[in-house]
Amino acid sequence: MALGYVTFITIATVCIGVTATCALCVRSSALPRTIAELENRARELAPYLGVTLLVLLVKRWTHYRRLELSYALDWNITAEIYAVEGSFVAGLQSIVPDTLIGFFSAMYMFGFPYLLVSALVLYFLLATQRRFKQLLVAYALNTLVGSIFYTLFIAYGPRNHLSTVNGLMYEFYPQTQELTAEVSANTNVFPSLHTSLAVIVAIFAWRSRRDYPRWFPIASVVATLVVFSTMYLGIHWLIDVIAGVVLGVWCVLTAERLVARAEGEPVSASDDRETGLTTELND
């Protein structure tokens, strides 16, 4: 019952957020154009959608098998993470008022899927589908690499390892634990995929700021709050977040190159024309 209720609330909240974002950021001509080109876009995007869906399905189908393998390998790096980082998360929880637990829980539960879905919708509505293709590939790479790390390494979050850290969201909203348990395990900590995916969306928002100038400030603020919430709620270590940032950047850069090669275009020329990144980095 709790799982169905939380799922419904999450879907409803994300739909409202995406609709409001489109109303704020998208030109009125985008939707009729997209509808008129829907069949052509579906054919063009089919390989990318197929690969991304396959990665997600394989991740889902192998979830318990990968957990069994992870426990069999027994490479637990929790103590090593704590030895490097110490009680950073405990200190973070001690300085943030408890009145913000609900807000950061909402960012973690609703802000995160809102970012992922909004980015997909916004880039699908653009005249060119390059950014949408790159985003799909970045999501797939993130899922693939994250699954490998979660299989190889066992790592428990601060709330499971330290008595001084509380699992704030699960204590105040225990019904959310049932939903998160469906898609992840409490050993899936290093790196933080909430962080890496939020970083991916934020980078895409930066690069598409000419197309969607209002989207970048929205995405950057929500992404920052999502990343912060993973630590404040006791779910991830700071080291997990740093690793997530690195993974997110790598996924974006690799996705750009893979899409350029798939489209038969030089990587550097594609990057210059579509994102302007090379020019910005060299200035």
Q: Where are the alpha helices (DSSP H) in the chain?
A: 2-25, 30-36, 38-61, 63-73, 78-85, 88-95, 101-106, 112-124, 130-152, 158-161, 168-172, 176-183, 193-207, 215-232, 238-262, 267-274, 277-282
Work out the number of other CB atoms within 10 angstroms of the CB of residue 88: 16
Q: Is the dihedral of CA 28, 113, 168, 166 positive or negative?
A: negative
Query: Tell me, what's the pLDDT at 170?
Result: 62
**Beta partners for residue 154, in sequence order:** 76
Question: Are 251 and 196 a contacting pair, CB within 8 Å?
Answer: yes
Give per-10-residue mean pLDDT for the chain (283 aa). Answer: 72 94 93 92 94 93 90 93 91 89 89 96 94 96 95 90 67 56 72 96 95 96 96 92 97 95 69 42 31
238 contacts: CB under 8 Å, gap ≥ 6: 85, 88, 89, 231
Q: What angle do CA 270, 203, 29 make, to 5 degrees?
A: 75
Query: Tell me, what's the pLDDT at 169?
Result: 61
Cα separation, 180 vs 38, in Å, equals 34
Query: Tell me, what's the pLDDT at 146?
Result: 95
Tell me 156's DSSP state: -
| CA-closest candidate to residue 143, choices 185, 186, 180, 196 | 196
| CA-closest candidate to residue 160, choices 194, 187, 184, 198 | 187
Cα separation, 120 vs 131, in Å, equals 9
Query: Tell me, what's the pLDDT at 52?
Result: 95
The three-state secondary structure class of 40 is: helix
The three-state secondary structure class of 76 is: strand
